[in-house]
Structure 1
Amino acid sequence: MSFFKKIVNKHTINLASSAAMPVIGLLVLSQLTRHFPTKTDFGNYVFFLQTFLLADMFRTGFLQTSLVKFYAGAPKERALNVAGSAWAVGFILTFGLAFIDLIIYFFVKSGNSDLEATLKWFGIIYICTLPSAIAGWILQAEERFDKMFIIQVINQGGFLILVLLIIFFKAINFETVLYCYLGTNIFTSLLCIVMGWSQVRAIRHKSLQSIKELLNFGKYGVGTSIGSTLLRSSDIYIIRGMFPPAFVGIYYIPQRLMEFFEIPMRSFVATALPELSTAAQHDNKPAVAHVMKKYGSLLTVLLIPIAVGGFFLGGVVIHILSGEKYEGSEAFNIFRIFLCYVIIMPMDRFFGITLDILNKPHLNMMKVFLMLTVNIIADFIGIAIFHNLYGVAIASLFTYYSGLIFGYIQLKKHLKFSLRDVLVVGFGEVKAMIQHVLHKQAKTKNI
């Protein structure tokens, strides 16, 4: 096997995809913050994006995990049946939400042209993303991460190119950015249909039994997905309702920067899941606890120096991304507040997926909705006390610590471990990694 084939595999492609998408997304963010005519335009775009992502997670929660579960490794006829049934469920969910949006658009008049533009294009964009979404889930089940990577790069990269074009022609505003978003998603979905990746013809193989299977399995997934998305977007909605639209953009910039910490998190989770699943299937709870501690604590230790660096250098990154428009705003200090809970994010995430692996998805869903409840209450209390965005940011600390405590209490009923293990095991893993590298170097020199 050549060196190229050794390093280019499904794991490295998945990691590249996890890293590339946030980077392209931040490039888009940088251009929009710099070139939108007003901060209000950017705030309205963030509001649209959060609303669309919430609806998208509703569909994803129902279908992604259940489609992958029943499609992966299934015989051809069964796979077609699952894909067709997923299309049927996707149609019901997508056109149902689009119809609700249409009713709101025609009967609810706000007097806000930008809000009406969001309602006008939301349903159309939501329908246009269905083929590419189903294609992505099918390709994930087939472990074709190379094709998934192509879809994501075309979608995100195409949006960036269109945004640069409207900037070049000095035509950028909130509505033209929506046109770019729509155009990119239409092209991506058409590509998925033409290439056969979405398997749209499989809909004739659907069955009522498989539709019920997908819905029954996805009911907890959709709860967790919606809860997680609301957890991320509830701050935006509260700020949009209680402050001028420009404040949404100020808060959104540090929120997006936190995606840098999501890159290694997604990679560690993808690597740990098979090991957790194998241990759980053999009912080996000590092994489940060991894998959870190993990956969660190692990631915690690795993120500590990055968080410290971000505490001092985050302002430089924000300036590079947004230019002078947001210089002197609360964005940097909000980012610093966010960094105070970075060290618990890995264990919070691994507590959640371990509950799923132990066949306790309802507890993971309860954990997410507990965090959402704490976040909303703490947001209003924080705003009442501080009367600014810092109150919303500080509320996030209570949110993540409540999730960590709940997950810890629930897992302690099934696994033997302690929070002290987080740092002990993590530093042990880092030490072992360093010793391994030094040993290889010494061995190479002796040769």
Structure 2
Amino acid sequence: MASEKSSNDQYWLKSGIINVMQNFTSVLFGFGGFYLMVRMLDKHSFGVWTLFVATTTIFEMVRSGLIQNALIKYLSFSESSEHNKILSASFALCGGLTLLCILINLVIAHYLGQIWKSEEIVPLFMLYSVVYLFSGILSQFHWMEQANFRFNGIFVTNFVKQGVFFIYLVICFFFKIKINLIELVYIQALALLLSIMVEYFFVKDLLNFAFQVTTEWVKKLLNYGKYAFGTSIGSILSSTIDQMMLGSLLSPAASGAFNIAVRIMNLVDIPTNAIAVIVFPQSARRLATDGEAAIKYLYEKSVGTILAVLIPALLFLFLFPDFVVSFIAGDKYEETVPILKVTVLYCLLIPFGRQCGTILDSIGRPKINFMLVMLNAVINLGLNYILISRIGVMGAAYATLISNIVSFTIAQTILNRILKVNTLNTFIYAYRFYPEFFMKYIKPRLT
């Protein structure tokens, strides 16, 4: 029993460190690239790039939402004799969905250019079809690693992918090379191609399977993934609809100003993303072995840990928004300061929603998670249209805050009924986090 507990602790510590490093470097490269781009691009061009990235992120989420969680869940505790069929079905679905999304992308490119009054965005979407094909291959490899509780390759290849893009921006910045948006998409394609080549060496032992596409496993993955698919769409719409509506109702520049606040908040979202990656395969396995009581503890403990890390950072951002915005984006984005203060408030609720979705998916309740996320998306969409039309950019911030409060209240009520989750316990675990971390990991190394 002690050996099992020690092994579990090692899993969490090792996986946690790798995933925190991965998310830290991801946000660091993303933030570093943003820091350079916001200084090299004018407001309109930066807004166009913001809208392009927001849209292409939806395509990425469509694919991962339909396949990722289903693949990880079934590979985590299915018989090894079924793994060939599961992997074959996931590869087939990934390929088919990739081609479908590329077709949709090509069809809507000109329409989006018209409603956002930016024809220069059209060739970006056209070239993105190649990028999307490469990212599909890399994503499939990453999901296979995650399902086998391996994260090293994911960390290395994400580092390569984002590092190449960042290095290009650094070269352009210091040598004063004028950047063209279409060139940035070419660099994305190159970075992904290099990442695929590197990732192959991490997953080649997992690729030794007979390709057997069966209707049974395609249906199983689709039946499980359809709710996660809808959840992903709702989730990404909730996080990007404000920027898209700002682009259509006001201007790409307004979308860019709002995006700056979102980028700043990404810096404090590292632990949320890292722990979500670890919790999903663990919760799927612990449900089968320890029952729902273990899942209740897993949710409360993981949210508490995230809050312990987030609260100091959020407090600093709320008290000194002028300094943060000026330091990060310069003096031409003063309108971002009040947006950031509102953004900080709803960022405190994000760990509850993110872990709620992870837990519901892992215990076989993806339909509930889907309904919660879609409700949030609908409320967010309606409020954004009303408030942006009436009060401008700040309307997007208030709309997202209100929709997150409503979703938080409903989600906590559902978790209480299903798993007897007590929201107060998350704050208790947050309070206990620092002394526990010190006693378990710091003090033994000091003695």
TM-score range, shorter chain: 0.7 to 0.9
Residue in 2 that maps onto 1:148:
154
Residue in 2 that maps onto 1:45:
49
Does the CA contact (< 8 Å) of 2:300 and 2:423 recur in 1?
no
| SS, match of residue 205 in structure 1 | coil
Does the CA contact (< 8 Å) of 1:24 and 1:160 recur in 2?
yes
Distance verdict in 2 for CA 1:104–1:355, change over 3 Å? closer
Higher mean C-alpha deviation, range 134-143 or range 68-77:
68-77
Residue in 1 that maps onto 2:141:
135
Does the CA contact (< 8 Å) of 1:277 and 1:357 recur in 2?
yes
| SS, match of residue 221 in structure 1 | helix
Distance verdict in 2 for CA 1:198–1:106, change over 3 Å? farther
AA aligned to 1:251 is F
5+ residue gaps in structure 2? Answer: 1-9
| SS, match of residue 348 in structure 2 | helix
Does the CA contact (< 8 Å) of 1:13 and 1:145 recur in 2?
yes
* Equivalent-residue separation in structure 1 for 2:408 and 2:72 (angstroms): 28
Count, aligned residues: 435
- Aligned partner of 1:67 among 50, 64, 71: 71
Distance verdict in 2 for CA 1:30–1:108, change over 3 Å? closer
Does the CA contact (< 8 Å) of 2:124 and 2:181 recur in 1?
no
* Equivalent-residue separation in structure 2 for 1:70 and 1:155 (angstroms): 28
Does the CA contact (< 8 Å) of 2:127 and 2:185 recur in 1?
yes
Does the CA contact (< 8 Å) of 1:138 and 1:197 recur in 2?
no
Higher mean C-alpha deviation, range 141-150 or range 98-107:
98-107
Residue in 2 that maps onto 1:403:
407
* Equivalent-residue separation in structure 2 for 1:272 and 1:88 (angstroms): 27
Residue in 2 that maps onto 1:229:
236
After superposition, what is the alpha-carbon deviation per residue over 1:362-412, rounded to whole angstroms, capped at 9, x for unaligned?
A: 1111111111111111112222332x2111101111111111111122223
| SS, match of residue 144 in structure 1 | coil
Does the CA contact (< 8 Å) of 1:131 and 1:193 recur in 2?
no
Distance verdict in 2 for CA 1:305–1:411, change over 3 Å? same
Distance verdict in 2 for CA 1:251–1:434, change over 3 Å? same
After superposition, what is the alpha-carbon deviation per residue over 1:68-91, rounded to whole angstroms, capped at 9, x for unaligned?
A: 233346677643433232221111
Distance verdict in 2 for CA 1:73–1:345, change over 3 Å? closer
Does the CA contact (< 8 Å) of 2:138 and 2:199 recur in 1?
yes
Does the CA contact (< 8 Å) of 1:83 and 1:203 recur in 2?
no
* Equivalent-residue separation in structure 2 for 1:437 and 1:75 (angstroms): 36
Higher mean C-alpha deviation, range 207-216 or range 232-241:
207-216
Q: Is residue 213 of structure 2 the alignment partner of residue 209 of structure 1? A: no
Does the CA contact (< 8 Å) of 2:73 and 2:284 recur in 1?
no
| SS, match of residue 418 in structure 2 | coil
Structure with greater Cα Rg: 1
Distance verdict in 2 for CA 1:151–1:434, change over 3 Å? closer
Q: Is residue 330 of structure 2 the alignment partner of residue 335 of structure 1? A: no
Residues 353-368 of structure 1: matches in 2 within 5 Å? Answer: 353-368=358-373
* Equivalent-residue separation in structure 2 for 1:10 and 1:109 (angstroms): 42
After superposition, what is the alpha-carbon deviation per residue over 1:133-182, rounded to whole angstroms, capped at 9, x for unaligned?
A: 11111122233311111110110001112233344362302222222222
After superposition, what is the alpha-carbon deviation per residue over 1:270-307, rounded to whole angstroms, capped at 9, x for unaligned?
A: 55556644653357444433332333234335432321
Distance verdict in 2 for CA 1:161–1:77, change over 3 Å? farther
Does the CA contact (< 8 Å) of 2:71 and 2:90 recur in 1?
yes
Residues 419-434 of structure 1: matches in 2 within 5 Å? Answer: 419-427=423-431, 429-430=432-433, 433=436
AA aligned to 1:413 is R
AA aligned to 2:39 is R
After superposition, what is the alpha-carbon deviation per residue over 1:332-380, rounded to whole angstroms, capped at 9, x for unaligned?
A: 2211111112333222333333333443211111111111111111112
Residue in 2 that maps onto 1:380:
385
Residue in 2 that maps onto 1:290:
297
- Structure 1 length-normalised TM: 0.86
AA aligned to 1:143 is F
- Structure 2 length-normalised TM: 0.86
Does the CA contact (< 8 Å) of 2:279 and 2:358 recur in 1?
no
Shift of 1:92: 0.8
Shift of 1:9: 3.7
- Aligned partner of 2:330 among 312, 316, 323: 323
Percent identity over the alignment? 22
Does the CA contact (< 8 Å) of 2:46 and 2:256 recur in 1?
yes
* Equivalent-residue separation in structure 2 for 1:196 and 1:271 (angstroms): 19
Residue in 2 that maps onto 1:33:
38
Q: Is residue 160 of structure 2 the alignment partner of residue 160 of structure 1? A: no
* Equivalent-residue separation in structure 2 for 1:298 and 1:77 (angstroms): 37
AA aligned to 2:89 is S
| SS, match of residue 177 in structure 2 | coil
Residue in 1 that maps onto 2:22:
17
Higher mean C-alpha deviation, range 266-275 or range 397-406:
266-275
After superposition, what is the alpha-carbon deviation per residue over 1:175-214, rounded to whole angstroms, capped at 9, x for unaligned?
A: 2222222222233234445776497786843333322222
* Equivalent-residue separation in structure 2 for 1:11 and 1:438 (angstroms): 13
After superposition, what is the alpha-carbon deviation per residue over 1:76-125, rounded to whole angstroms, capped at 9, x for unaligned?
A: 76434332322211111111121233344589984843132233222222
C-alpha RMSD of matched pairs (Å):
3.3
